[in-house]
Amino acid sequence: MKTFVRLALCAAAFTALVAGCAPAGSQPAPTPTTAPEKNSAPAAGRELILAIAGESADGYDPTTGWGRYGSPLFQSTLLQRDNDLNIVNDLAESYTVSPDGLVWTVKIRADVKFSDGQPLTARDVAFTFNTAAKSGSVVDLTQLDAATALDDTTVELRLKQPQSTFINRLITLGIVPEHAYSAEYARRPIGSGPYRFVQWDEGQQLIVEANPYYYGPKPAFQRIIFLFLSEDAAFAAAKAGQVQVVAVPPALGKQPIPGMKVIAVDSVDNRGIMFPMTQDTGQKTANGYPIGNNVTADKAIRQAINYAINRQALVDGVLEGFGSPAYGPVDGLPWWEPATQFQDNDLDKAKQILAEGGWTDSNNDGVLEKDGLKAEFTLVYPASDSTRQSLALAVVDMVRPLGITINPKGASWDEIETLMHSNAVLFGWGSHDQTEMYNLYHSSMGGQGWYNTGYYSNPAVDGYLDRAMSSISEQTALPYWKKAQWDGTTGFSAQGDAAWAWLVNLKHIYFVSDCLDVGRQRIQPHGHGWPITANIVEWQWICQ
């Protein structure tokens, strides 16, 4: 632990490079400053030090996905969500959509400059959208035909067909400068957001400063340092008084830290078990990874597990009360189908499902069998995530009375990538964008990156998802999103195909200095990125 504290102190005092905390060959460090007092901000509140994870291994390029789970910070977006999740203008002054849903015309502000002082025009907006569409990344612009600047402040976004979720691209896609975009952009981003990039020592810290050209309210803090520490090291740094905001797992949320308050923020950040849905026939992915699992491919196994799990016990025990039971990937959002909620912790119903599915304990060894196949499989979770580890172990205990043996396995993300098509995995998702639901359950997304890794397929569900996506507006798409979950006969939820066993929705837990007001926090998406900084311009130092 002393090593971790040293790293935190080193970064906090801005002596990372001169003291040997950074690798050789890094840029020169900023001018050192005096180490802060316990949980105070140095330089009379003009600097902040945050340990809230969120380092992007791929850098900070919005055209390849940066910012889709929170504020892109360095870049501005055309629209944004306010603290009530209402859609409001950012770069855009207004936008219109043609009656057929194919042409979006956006009028942008004329007073915006990038952090290098160059003006931001509609040409930059068009360049950003066209570049993102060509990147083939997680940014869903498959329906974009072309983005065209009509003049300096007007951009036209023409679609191949209507897409109800396209508005989310206007909310999450940060605008990049055509004049300064290159292969190195992700590691030296230039944008028009409230802060500008200064220095990134990968795996250790990121330093940003207030953007002097920012057109919006000026942030109160001139400099912010993001420390990239493990959960234990981040908590230790907070206890040592070296950070003003720290994100912690729920298990640490009730441990007091003098000079800091706990803020528990509601989120749609969920955790659930993805089940491989196909039989093991020896098939492999293009990368040679095995596909299919004969146990989890059985619907009775998946449904029984769903009904046996005591989700409230997971919230109370593993999450220390900082969360809620989850029954699907979009609980509580406008496109959620409430009928997917069911009475869990029902061992009798789970056992009935298994018996009707042909699973019996023929040799009385406590493990069910069917056609010579034992009810046993592996559940993989990221070994670095203590919350997912605890959830996995708790689920193992909850389903054991059914006669199902689950073998928990901690692994790195690199290893999980090789295992996730043939083993159950404890994943986390959660977005304000309905596209994520499409990606998780549409058959066309089977094996596409981290989406639909279990190769789930249901023609009826595909049909609903397709109609939802191709609707002209979010409102007209709603009934189809809901029917994909459960239409009374079929769906991907537990009552239907039970493609996942969703477990919990998290509250995001932060310790925040008593001297720092982080404003009103909105419901947050999945924890990638820095969702707490979405309202960074509202943050204030309230101590003298």
Q: What is the pLDDT of residues 473-484, one digit of tens each?
A: 889 999 999 999
**Residue type for position 189:** P
CA dist list (Å): 25 to 17, 18, 198: 10, 12, 16
Measured CA distances, 43 to 11, 37, 109, 304 (Å): 16, 11, 34, 58
* pLDDT over 70 at 43, yes or no: no
Same domain as 460, residue 401: yes
How confident is the model at residue 529, as a pLDDT? 81
Q: What is the pLDDT of residue 25?
A: 31
CATH no. for residue 182?
A: 3.40.190.10
Q: What average pLDDT does the segment 262-286 reach?
A: 95
Residue 262 within any structural domain of the chain: no
Tokens of residue 517, six digits: 């007001």
Is residue 485 predicted with pLDDT exceeding 60?
Answer: yes
- 327 shares a domain with 237: no
- The alpha carbon dihedral of 382, 383, 387, 392 has a sign of positive
Mean pLDDT value across residues 222-233: 94
**Exposure string (b/e) for 197-216, b if CB count within 10 Å is 16 or more?**
bebbbeebbbbbbbbebbee
The mean per-residue pLDDT over the stretch 385-411 comes to: 97
19-26 mean pLDDT: 32
Q: Mean pLDDT, to the nearest integer, of 394-418? A: 98
Same domain, 166 and 299: no
**Residue range 512-521, pLDDT digits in tens:** 999 999 999 9
Using 50, 70 and 90 to split pLDDT, how confident is the model at 28?
very low
Q: Identity (one letter) of the amino acid at 508?
A: H
Residues 398 and 420 in one domain: yes
pLDDT computed for residue 137 by the predictor? 77
pLDDT for 82 equals 85
3-state helix, strand, coil in the chain (%, to 5): 30, 25, 50
Same structural domain, 115 and 199: no
Q: What is the mean pLDDT of residues 190-216?
A: 96
Contacts of 521 (CB under 8 A, 6+ apart): 83, 263, 265, 532, 535
Q: Which residue matches tokens 């910070």? A: 73
pLDDT at 57: 87
Decide: 108 and 155 in contact? Cβ < 8 Å.
yes
**Domain's final residue, options 190, 207, 231:** 190
For residues 43 and 154, the model is more confident at 154
Q: Give DSSP secondary structure letters for 115-177.
A: TTSPBP-HHHHHHHHHHHHHHTSSS--TTEEEEEEEETTEEEEEESS--TTTHHHHHH-----
What does the pLDDT read at residue 514? 96
Whether the predicted pLDDT of 364 surpasses 70? yes
Q: Measured between alpha carbons, how far is residue 294 from residues 299, 408, 422 in Å?
A: 11, 18, 9
Residues 321/315, Cβ–Cβ less than 8 Å: yes
The CATH number of the domain holding residue 388 is: 3.10.105.10
pLDDT of residue 140: 85
Residues 41 and 153 in one domain: no
Q: What is the pLDDT of residue 1?
A: 35
Mean pLDDT of 208-223: 95
| C-alpha distance from residue 428 to each of 102, 168, 276, 311, 403 (Å) | 33, 20, 16, 15, 27
The predicted model gives 305-324 an average pLDDT of: 97
539 pLDDT exceeds 70? Answer: yes
Answer yes or no: is 398 within a domain: yes
In this prediction, residue 39 carries a pLDDT of 55
Contacts of 164 by beta carbon, 8 Å cutoff, 6+ apart: 434, 468, 469, 470, 471, 472, 473, 474, 476, 477
Model confidence band, residue 465 (pLDDT cutoffs 50, 70, 90): very high
Q: Quick one: which of 468, 432, 428, 450 has its CA closest to 168?
A: 432
217 and 296 share one domain: no
Dist CA 160 CA 169 (whole Å) = 15
What residue has token string 């026939």?
Answer: 281
- Residue at 334 is within a domain: yes
Average pLDDT over residues 372-385: 96
Strand 47-51 versus strand 223-227 pairing type: parallel
Q: Give yes or no: residues 186 and 200 share one domain.
A: no
Average pLDDT in the 10-33 region? 34
* Domain presence at residue 86: yes
Tally of CA atoms within 13 A in the half-sphere of 517 that contains its CB? 10
Asked if residue 181 lies in contact with residue 127, where contact means CB atoms within 8 angstroms, the answer is yes
How many CA atoms within 13 Å lie on the side-chain side of 317? Answer: 15
Q: Tell me how far apart the alpha carbons of residues 386 and 529 are, in angstroms, rounded to a whole number.
A: 19
Residue range 97-137, pLDDT digits in tens: 999 999 999 999 999 999 999 999 999 999 999 999 998 77
Residues 216 and 351 in one domain: no
Q: Does pLDDT of 498 surpass 50? A: yes
The two three-digit tokens of residue 176, written as one number: 């990049």
Residues 276-314: pLDDT tens digits? 999 999 999 999 999 999 999 999 999 999 999 999 999
The dihedral region occupied by 508, where left means phi > 0, alpha psi between -120 and 50, and beta the remainder, is beta
Percent of the chain, pLDDT > 90? 80
What's this model's pTM, rounded to 2 decimal places?
A: 0.82
pLDDT at 38: 53
Position 67 pLDDT exceeds 90? no
Extract the tokens encoding 372.
């010579």
Q: What is residue 460's three-state secondary structure?
A: helix
Amino acid at 6: R
pLDDT at 526 over 90: no
What is the DSSP secondary structure assignment for residue 118, as one 8-state letter? P
Give the total number of structural domains in the chain.
Answer: 3
Residue 201 shares a structural domain with residue 184 = no
pLDDT at 3: 33
133 or 46, which is more confident? 133
Mean pLDDT of 168-190: 96
- Cβ neighbors of 415 (< 8 A, separation 6 or more) are none
Q: Which domain holds residue 210?
A: 1-53+194-248+514-544
Same domain, 287 and 430: yes
Compute the average pLDDT of residues 189-196: 97
Least confident of 82-91, 192-201, 234-243, 393-402: 82-91
Average pLDDT taken over every residue of the chain: 90
- Name the H helices within 80-121: none
How far, in Å, CA of 446 to CA of 435, rounded? 15
Residue 70's pLDDT is what?
A: 73
Predicted pLDDT of residue 478: 96
Q: Does residue 526 share a domain with residue 495?
A: no
- The Cα 395–Cα 306 span in angstroms is 10
Give the three-state DSSP class for 247: strand
Q: Across-strand partners of 147? A: 157
pLDDT computed for residue 15 by the predictor: 32
Residue 40: the pLDDT is 52
Residue 393's nearest CA partner among 246, 251, 248 is 251
Residue 501: φ, ψ to 5°: -115, 95
Least trusted range by pLDDT, from 11-15, 67-71, 149-153: 11-15
Q: Is residue 256 part of a domain?
A: no
Q: Identify whether the C-beta of residue 39 lies closer than 8 Å to the C-beta of residue 51.
A: no
pLDDT of 8 > 70? The answer is no
